Structure 1
């Protein structure tokens, strides 16, 4: 078994850059973070493979900026698996590809029901790829050799995997689709930060009362600030279940808070003053949250039949034709057209519905040209038919 060395010194860094520069073909790239252990999403290990060069495992915290590595391979096509998960942390250290091939997205476009790296490698290359360290704490130093072997295997096979998928995409006449999807993935803008991120608290929907929600909000904010300061995953300091338990029971004193059985976590007692201060702020604030977050511009589809039966009819009709088209193209329906885009179109369609107006609305929502070509006419027709059909409105209560 090969022993892998970590590139963590100037001398090793220079050697790696020289070797990768002299290599041939595209570069397989992966990054390992410490999700679930650290607050940040920084890369703690970056793996690269290029034919005639080999595998190199870079330690970003030890090396700092990687501008010279970017200069060496930035213009070379990169192969990643689930690129959307890694591009942000790669860019954080100065690594940004000019073009990519995403083997996970390629597998989705080919209609594979399971698209994890291990599954696709076994399916297309006949090689079993163990994934036992995928959830490891990659901020650990030194990294165990078994982890480095796992990390190296994540990139060593990416070039072979890309070539296998390219052949299948060509056979399925999906090369243009793949090119548009990869380009979009590379250039899409990051999602804007949520205005009220605390509302993503697991179990928040079990909390009743605006005062109780205020306590949950203040505890979430206190935990987030402390986790950012310590660079520790928030849930390791104070689990979501602890926050929701406090918000539901509303302890009246620090003693009651500390005695709460559901109040657990490594920092639940050592930082009890911090948490009690947050509870006190929530119990006394005049700035009470609204019941529903402002980010929810349209209600969930399950409520449409009662609240907007016309939109409900449009959505049901359009979903059916989009699903049928996805089956014809052997694509996951969500890759043919974003469910969010379809919902928003159904809720607020153009004033005059036809193929052109629907196509323009789809493009404005960042649908790709191939998606518009495949779905705009069908969605427009479905909307028109739904609007022309009688809508049964729910009877109002007496």
Structure 2
């Protein structure tokens, strides 16, 4: 392992920025802790450049400006593995949006590996280096740092440069570098980091099985949990464990007594929190809430035939991706099928341009853009998937 510089002062960070003012590339990673809090805490930043290895301790530093400036500099290529998590945290805490990115996990998805792939597995396979991952869940908030922790942190960035150069050459050889670069650009769009505050509620499996009033209450319960967690900087599970939600929602029709008599529900929901629960249940529905609830599909809308068609199409797409050596999870994430069904324009936007159009071709795009018109016909020696109007 090479020597590294641990940066803990404003002067040290400014010097770091000065000596790296002329760089063309940087590898970086971060360690953070998200357990038992709403806002994830950034605990350590690891950086490798042509000028050396650096560890930045953000705790004593009020301003990470020199580092953040490098992340936003379009003239510096940023090399990460699974960088989405790091970029999402930097955006949430500092409003930073990266420019000029290369992600080795995404790149691996275009080179025959499954996606997502662990860094340890990729490094061992491509570079024949065995990484020690014994500090993956170490207490990164503890100070002073354990020296073994810092060694672990350094090994997360040391292989990135060689991995980048090897993957870049392989992508170019397979004429897929422009595919990967297009996908990297996703990490550079601010919209990618915006979170719908109601996403969790609207995608809850519980929501689909409830009646209208129960759905409204569940929508409000999710919102109350999120806002309370944010206000107290607790995790959402600390405010209200998800395992209690179904019991609370179904017991509310019987009022306070229903909550009190359900032995699976903590006493506080019929006690100190009862006024909150009751207000959430009896408040008149707003126009915004009506709009949100219209987005929830009913169980009747998801019929068995549609489920079979979706599964059949997904398997065909997986086969196509396997034949081309591209991860199907990268090309078409499973949850996109719901987006395609709810918004046919989504398929047109995603699949009629860029690398996915090159990969799938016009036939797949027609299938994906018209999922409700797909039909399966089983004939002697043939299983046929076609559009109903053809």
Using the size of structure 2 for normalisation, the TM-score is 0.75
Partner residue in 2 for 1:179: 181
1:88 aligns with 2:88: yes
Name the Cα RMSD after superposition: 4.3
User: How far apart, CA to CA, are the structure 1 residues paired with 2:298 and 2:244?
Assistant: 30
1:228 aligns with 2:227: no
Partner residue in 1 for 2:283: 285
User: How far apart, CA to CA, are the structure 1 residues paired with 2:135 and 2:274?
Assistant: 37
Structure 1 residue 348: Cα displacement: 7.4
Paired residue for 2:329, among 334, 342, 345? 334
Aligned to 1:62, the other structure's residue is in SS state coil
Paired residue for 1:365, among 342, 350, 354? 350
* Distance change in 2, residues 1:276/1:391 (3 Å): same
Partner residue in 2 for 1:354: none
- Deviates most, 67-76 or 224-233: 67-76
* Distance change in 2, residues 1:303/1:191 (3 Å): farther
Deviations 1:57-84 (Å, cap 9, x if unpaired)?
241x532332233445633111011122
Work out whether residues 367 and 374 of structure 2, in 8 Å CA contact, stay in contact via their aligned partners in 1: no
1:44 aligns with 2:29: no
User: How far apart, CA to CA, are the structure 1 residues paired with 2:40 and 2:156?
Assistant: 19
Partner residue in 2 for 1:104: 105
Aligned to 1:33, the other structure's residue is in SS state strand
Structure 1 residue 138: Cα displacement: 4.1
Structure 2 unaligned segments of length 5 or more: list them.
Answer: 379-390
Work out whether residues 321 and 382 of structure 1, in 8 Å CA contact, stay in contact via their aligned partners in 2: no
* Distance change in 2, residues 1:277/1:5 (3 Å): farther
Matches within 5 A, 1:106-255: 106-113=107-114, 115-136=117-138, 138-187=140-189, 189-190=191-192, 193-194=195-196, 196-197=198-199, 199=201, 204-205=206-207, 208-250=210-252, 252-253=255-256
Partner residue in 1 for 2:65: 67
Aligned to 2:33, the other structure's residue is in SS state coil
User: How far apart, CA to CA, are the structure 2 residues paired with 1:346 and 1:207?
Assistant: 19
Equivalences, count: 369
Structure 1 residue 380: Cα displacement: 5.3
- Deviates most, 289-298 or 6-15: 289-298
Aligned to 2:157, the other structure's residue is in SS state helix
Aligned to 1:134, the other structure's residue is in SS state coil
Using the size of structure 1 for normalisation, the TM-score is 0.74
Deviations 1:218-263 (Å, cap 9, x if unpaired)?
4433332221122121112331113333223347549964x86534
Structure 1 residue 43: Cα displacement: 2.9
Work out whether residues 82 and 103 of structure 1, in 8 Å CA contact, stay in contact via their aligned partners in 2: yes
Work out whether residues 47 and 58 of structure 1, in 8 Å CA contact, stay in contact via their aligned partners in 2: no
* Distance change in 2, residues 1:363/1:28 (3 Å): farther
Structure 1 residue 283: Cα displacement: 4.1
Partner residue in 1 for 2:360: 375
Work out whether residues 82 and 106 of structure 2, in 8 Å CA contact, stay in contact via their aligned partners in 1: yes
User: How far apart, CA to CA, are the structure 2 residues paired with 1:178 and 1:199?
Assistant: 33
Deviations 1:104-159 (Å, cap 9, x if unpaired)?
10111112136111111111122222334434564455554443333222222211
User: How far apart, CA to CA, are the structure 2 residues paired with 1:341 and 1:201?
Assistant: 12
Partner residue in 2 for 1:353: none
* Distance change in 2, residues 1:186/1:9 (3 Å): same
User: How far apart, CA to CA, are the structure 2 residues paired with 1:379 and 1:145?
Assistant: 53
Aligned to 2:149, the other structure's residue is in SS state helix
Aligned to 1:235, the other structure's residue is in SS state helix
Deviations 1:289-317 (Å, cap 9, x if unpaired)?
779943347989952726xx9xx86x677
Structure 1 unaligned segments of length 5 or more: list them.
Answer: 351-360, 393-398
Partner residue in 2 for 1:356: none
* Distance change in 2, residues 1:368/1:135 (3 Å): farther
* Distance change in 2, residues 1:376/1:111 (3 Å): same
User: How far apart, CA to CA, are the structure 2 residues paired with 1:343 and 1:203?
Assistant: 13
1:323 aligns with 2:318: yes
Structure 1 residue 39: Cα displacement: 0.5
* Distance change in 2, residues 1:42/1:223 (3 Å): same
Structure 1 residue 190: Cα displacement: 2.3
